[in-house]
Structure 1
Amino acid sequence: MSAPNLVSQAMRRPCDRCRHRKSRCVRELGQEKCVRCTVHRHECTYLQGPVPRKRPDRQQSPRAEDLASNGLSPSPPAGQASSDAASPSRLTGTLGLEPHLHSTYIGPASYHESTLLDLKSSSTHVNQDMGHPRRVNQSSAFITRPDKNSASEMQRISDLDQIEATINPFGPALVKVYFQIVHPLFPILDKGVFVEKYARTYREFSPPLLAAVYLVALDWRLFDRALTKATRVPDTALLEDLAMRAMNDDMKRAKLSTLQAGLLLLQRVRSTSTSLPAQLLAVGQTLGIHVDCSDWTVPEWEKSLRRRLAWALYKHDKWGAIVHGRPSLIPIQIENSDFSDWDVGPCTFSDFPEATDIEEDDMEGIVDAGLGRAAFIQLIELTKIFSEIVATFCSVSATRKGGLLSRIGTTGTMSLAKPLVLKLRDWHSSLPDNLQLGSTYSHRLSTNGPLHLSHMAAELTIHRALLRTLSADTPPALRSTIRTAARARLLSAMKLIESLQPEHTQSFWGFAAASQVAMIGSFAGLLWATSAETDEAVEFVNQLERLRWALQMRASAAPFLHEALRMLDDEVGDLVALRTATSADQMSPWG
């Protein structure tokens, strides 16, 4: 790019983003965006005036000082400068996060007629209390309503005050811990928006979201010195009760923050709600999360946030099959289908706007944010394969008596498994070196454990289905092949658990991890229960003991492993009793 083709904005004025970064603003002739905004796909705006000089007697708000001391960069408090009051918030023009408004997606099958919505939007007699239409592209529209019709604003403020009182004075420290450890691997918030609002006042949030951020961060309080030295630990049970009660109220005026709060609350192993996953999927559809938003008339950062939220919800729905044993609610075929109700664009690195700025958290943080984003994207692709596996081998119609698997037998089931095994193998072999399990870095938590445990769970799901098809009529050679392969997978799973280092176990794992670990134990139990020889059965009991020991050595420092140990005890019971039982001749249905 030659110098004559560049125009320095210094002769005019820099765009808002270059002004904020205090960097040179350069724009090509004939282009609407400056070079930096074009490269990083940002909006290039000229809304803010020059930043006024700070006056000696002007003081920061207490919350802004707390955020600054915890390594965050808050926006100036509202009213600090005259130019700030004139500049719009990042929330202006949003669809799912606008204050005091909530929007409901109008699907093609709705009784609403698109043409009439357009006429209504141009009418001067629209009843604002009943809502007004907002079209975001040619085929997608929403009805936007004021929050006051569905929930009490006074109750919202009261809930927020109770939540803040429960954790005070640790709020800013917990927010810092959240964005250092959880956010890189579970990027369902927009960090810039959250910090901007938090710098002004906690009362700008929805109560369940604020409580959920605090709750999740509390699991990593040892990573903050102030929290470690605190003599008083916030009451997590009270905080969770406040969050769940506020969540029920928030669903009456659902926003993206409602979905964010619910997904965070479900990451905690102590959460007892079993209906919340289905409720969140309904909330997501109400918000239009399942629809491609690429050409919507909303800010670019909201489009990126919607895609990340959609795929986070997708992963939760699919891996919930392991946790709850219920069928998925999101369609199986989501790609290359003309009749799919899941039309979300792929999540790419461009959907992480904060990654384009050099952040202290990326350079010196507890988690490598770049690897966290890569792991998030890779897990989406793995989840798509897992969705096919569950649909093939775990559907009600396939597994019932006389269903597909019983009709095609072991040989037919192996034929169904082969292409899925190849997909898993290709996915695993395509992982870059820095996402391999053994790739760890000094003084940083590893992002890779959840990827490899999920891959192992997907493999075990296939092998478990094959084992279940074995019967007395299965040819001995075929039975031996299947059981040998299953035993190899069990040993690989054991090796994976035993290779987990503190850098792995102390990282963020997500809601399904405990169930995935427990599945290894139940898989060993299945191999034991179907053993035809005593020596083989004893070997699998020993593997169960080996798994228990590996979990006991790591569970005290990792909540999800502690939960997995409890689940394993519930699943297989007393291992000593199992060992004793193997001495009898009743271990196998074919013995």
Structure 2
Amino acid sequence: MCTFHGQPCTYLRGPLPRKRRKATDPPEYRSQPNGSGSGSVPGMTHLNLNYPHGLNMTIPLDHHDEVEYPSPELLEALSPSLAGSENLGPAHRQPSLLDGTLGLHLKTHSEYVGLTNYREPCLLDLHPPEDPHTRSVRRLDDFTIFMIHRDRETTSETQRIADLDAIEKVVHPLGASLVNLYFRIVHPSFPILHKKVFLEKYARSYHEFSPPLLAAVYLLALDWSIFDRTLSTSSWQPDQSRLEALALRTMNDDMKRPKISTLQAGLLIQQRAKNNTWTFTSQLIALSHGLGLHVDCSDWAIPEWEKGLRRRLAWALFMQDKWGALVHGKPCLIRPDEDWDVRPCRIEDFPENAADEEHDPEGSAEVVIGRELFLRHIELSLILSDVLRTFYTAKATRRNGTLEQIGTIGVAELAKPIVLMLRDWYAALPEALQLQGTRMKKLSANGSLHLSYTAIDLALHRALLRNVSAVAPPELRHAIRMGARTRLVSAMTIISNLQPEHTQSFWGFMASAQLASIGTFAGLLWATSDDDLEATFYCERVEEYLWSLRVRSQAVPFARDALRMLEAEVGGLGPVRASNLPMEMMRI
């Protein structure tokens, strides 16, 4: 306006953050999930399988003019109640959960403008983009700006639709059953999607998704086909290999126009252990920085439910980084003390509650317990971060590095507060999260939490064992080895205490490596034994553990993977004197 009137601009600041909706606003105008007039049935918890998949009424933010509305004839054929184009124009369309969101639109992707970027946030408001149809600026608060890019520059919409059709063809007509199965079993303890948003979109058309996300949901759900009557009795099963290939190929294309759905798809794909690579994790972390997931979104002008989704997604990525670093033996990429400003998840960040599972069939996971499991996994990942930062960095473990300089006594002192932290964490677990806390006809993901706790405890004592020097006080050496022995015996009981309700639930990508770490820990104790008697003891423990995995391997895929890993690395140990082993083997 200033340019139009030939006057100097006196408004040098960006637009102020939008005021939040008041609690007294009519429910149909709220953007939060529990009060959104989304055009779907209120309280919807499962799919309406009779909804016409060809009807798409989602309107991307600020692009209502580009939407093609269905003809009155088509609406009359689909449903008489939808006929009448006067109710479907931009001015009268139904509010959607996606209104006002940042990273959830199909045809745009956002780019977080970092503080050292060549763009200066306070200057971006002064000059409009040269072509507003391909790029725009969105300010979320006084300090946060995103560049919004149109997707047409990097991918073909025709190709996206073709990919979605190819994915749907692989699972048709079982797609809806797979979606329901995913939200029954995977989602409760790994809530990186917004269930109501996903179902709202799926009820309209599978064309509303990014291809890798839809493929990833189908792919994970296929592992639990036996828990769905339609899937388990079907004479035809989807081609899992074909679906996996489509997920990976479309994921590569989606990374050219990254959005929240890209990160969600990547995390889901990585939960299948064979698809988990450190390079893939690194790409997802870099992608998340472009989405601004590493900064606090509390004051952003976006719907409250998207803030909760962003926090859950950010912490899921944090866990992926820490466990990926441990599993692959690589440095952590997320530094919580420096480049991580994400507020801890709260109960309000989880939209589902116990009422959402009232009608779930047998074999489902419990929503409330799943939420608590997710929060406890976050706590464990923070402790794991301390372990890795203290004992497993390049500077700490190098020759004449930090650990070698402080000696065995110093290393034990460093470990003491973390040991106490782990002990307090375990003591504070509620009864519902105990390993024995299973319910009839309900799957329980508690086992993954206890295995993660054990893996962190062993990683800590593995560092202690490696740093017992020849000049360490005998009583300290004895205490460290006895503590390690006690933890090994305790860890080996986990696999035998797992019930079918545990093993058939959702386990993340790290489960097989966590189980393998128990056998590796026993191998380290064997390799550093003081005499033949002690070496024989640990050799027998390894053989017992391998047998426990072997008898469960047919029913438990991650146990089969752990068995394969261990037999290739530590199988066939004999009662060899540690004194006869080369120094390299003493520091496994």
Fold shared per TM-score above 0.5:
yes
Give 3-state SS (helix, strand or coil) of 1:143's partner: strand
Aligned counterpart for 2:580 among listed residues 571, 580, 586: 586
Q: CA deviation at 1:148?
A: 0.4
Q: Aligned partners of 2:439, 2:416: CA distance in 1, in Å?
A: 36
Quote the Cα distance in structure 2 between the aligned partners of 1:541 and 1:115. Answer: 66
Q: How does 1:324-335 map to 2 (within 5 A)?
A: 324-333=328-337
The corresponding residue for 1:166 is 170
Structure 1 residues 585 and 133: alpha-carbon distance in aligned structure 2, compared to 1, 3 A threshold:
closer
- Residue 152 of structure 2 aligns to a residue whose secondary structure is helix
Indicate the SS of the match to 1:510.
coil
Does residue 1:98 correspond to 2:122, yes or no? no
Whether the 8 Å contact between 2:357 and 2:367 is mirrored in structure 1 is: no
Query: 1:493-543: per-residue Cα shift (whole Å, max 9, x none)?
Result: 011221111111111110111111111010000000001211111111111
> Are residues 1:153 and 2:157 paired?
yes
1:107 aligns with 2:101: no
Give TM-score scaled by structure 1 length. 0.84
Higher relative contact order (CA 8 A, sep 6+): 2
- Alignment map for 1:207-226 (pairs within 5 Å): 207-226=211-230
Partner of 1:7 in structure 2?
Answer: none
State the Cα distance separating 1:582 from its structure 2 match: 2.4
CA distance in 2, matches of 1:365, 1:352: 22
The 5 Å alignment of 1:526-545 reads: 526-545=524-543
In structure 2, what is the Cα distance between the partners aligned to 1:46 and 1:484? 58
Provide the aligned C-alpha RMSD in A: 2.8
**Shift of residue 475, structure 1, vs aligned partner:** 2.8
2:457 to 456, 459, 479: 459
Counterparts of 1:293 and 1:397 in 2: how far apart (Å)? Answer: 34
Q: By how many angstroms is 1:115 displaced?
A: 1.7
- Displacement of 1:79 in angstroms is 9.5
Are 2:319 and 1:315 aligned?
yes
Q: Secondary structure at the match of 1:134?
A: strand
- Following superposition, the deviation at residue 62 of structure 1 comes to 5.4
- Match of residue 473 from structure 1: 471
Change (3 A) 1:172 1:410: same
How many Å separate the matches in 2 of 1:376 and 1:506? 18
1:460-488 deviation per Cα after TM superposition (whole angstroms, max 9, x unaligned): 11110111012332232221111111000
Which of 256, 262, 267 is matched with 1:263 structurally? 267
Q: Which residue of 1 aligns with 2:512?
A: 514
1:130-173 deviation digits (Å, cap 9, x = unpaired): 41110011111100011101111111111111111111111111
Matched, 1:484 2:482: yes
1-side partners of 2:184 and 2:39: how far apart?
32
Structure 2 vs 1, CA of residues 244 and 79 (structure 1 numbering), >3 Å: closer, same or farther? farther
| Residue 440 of structure 1, CA deviation | 0.8
In structure 1, the residue corresponding to 2:255 is in which secondary structure? helix
Q: Distance in 2 between matches of 1:467 and 1:314?
A: 28
Q: Partner of 2:552 in structure 1?
A: 554
Q: Which amino acid aligns with 2:200?
A: E
Task: State the secondary structure of the residue aligned to 1:302.
Answer: helix
User: C-alpha offsets along residues 96-135 of structure 1, whole Å, 9 cap, x if unaligned?
Assistant: 0012111100011111111211223xx4x64124411100
What SS is found at the alignment partner of 1:109? coil
Secondary structure of 1:133's partner? Answer: strand
Identity, in percent, stands at 51
Match of 2:11 in 1: none
Query: Which residue identity does 1:195 align to in structure 2?
Result: L
Show CA shifts across 1:184-209 (max 9, x none): 01000001111111111111110100
Aligned-pair distance for 1:356?
Answer: 7.5
Deviations along 1:333-381, whole A, 9 cap, x unmatched? 2xxxxxx321111101110122275443569661111000001001101
Q: Secondary structure at the match of 2:100?
A: coil
Q: Is the 8 A contact 1:398 1:405 kept in 2?
A: yes
Q: How many angstroms apart in 1 are the aligned matches of 2:526 and 2:567?
A: 16
Conserved? CA contact 1:197–1:204, under 8 Å: yes
Asked if the contact 1:33/1:44 (under 8 Å) is kept, the reply is no
Q: What's the offset of the Cα at 1:41?
A: 11
CA contact (8 A) 2:39 2:95 kept: no
Question: Does the residue aligned with 1:326 lie in a helix, a strand or coil?
Answer: coil
Which of 146-155 and 304-313 deviates more? 146-155
Question: Which stretch has the larger CA shift, 235-244 or 82-91?
Answer: 82-91
CA contact (8 A) 1:529 1:588 kept: no
Q: What is the correspondence of 1:390-405 to structure 2 with a 5 Å cutoff? A: 390-405=388-403
| Contact 1:256–1:287, Cα closer than 8 Å, also in 2 | yes
| Partners of 1:207 and 1:49 in 2: CA distance | 24
Distance 1:354 1:291 in 2: 24
Work out which of the residue numbers 61, 84, 97 in structure 1 matches 2:51: 61
Match of 2:190 in 1: 186
Measure how far apart 1:554 and its partner are: 2.0
Q: Which amino acid aligns with 2:233?
A: K
1:352-367 matches, cutoff 5 A: 352-355=350-353, 358-360=356-358, 366-367=364-365
Question: Partner amino acid for 1:61?
Answer: Y
Residue in structure 2 matching 1:446, options 444, 448, 460: 444
Tell me the residue number matched to 2:23: 33
SS of equivalent residue, structure 1 residue 270: helix
Q: Is the 8 A contact 1:126 1:132 kept in 2?
A: no
Structure 1 residues not aligned, in runs of 5+:
1-30, 52-58, 65-75, 334-339
How many Å separate the matches in 2 of 1:221 and 1:285? 35
1:67 maps to which residue?
A: none
Code of the aligned partner of 1:416:
L
Q: TM-score, length-normalised on structure 2?
A: 0.85
Residue 300 of structure 1 and its aligned partner are, at CA, apart by: 1.1
Q: Verify: 1:414 aligned to 2:412, yes or no.
A: yes
Alignment CA distance shift 1:411-1:250 (3 Å): same
- Residue of structure 2 equivalent to 1:248: 252
Per-residue CA deviations over 1:252-279 (Å, capped at 9, x if unaligned) read 1111000000000000022164411000
Contact 2:194 2:309 in 1 (8 A): yes
Deviation at 1:91, TM superposition (A): 1.3
**CA distance change for structure 1 residues 478 and 32 in 2, over 3 Å: closer, same or farther?**
closer
Match of 2:376 among 378, 386, 393: 378
Cα distance in 2 for residues equivalent to 1:425 and 1:547: 25
Q: What is the rounded CA distance, in whole Å, between the counterparts of 1:141 and 1:321 in structure 2?
A: 31
Partner of 1:195: 199
Change over 3 Å in CA distance of 1:43–1:510 after alignment to 2: closer
Q: Which residue of 1 aligns with 2:339?
A: 341
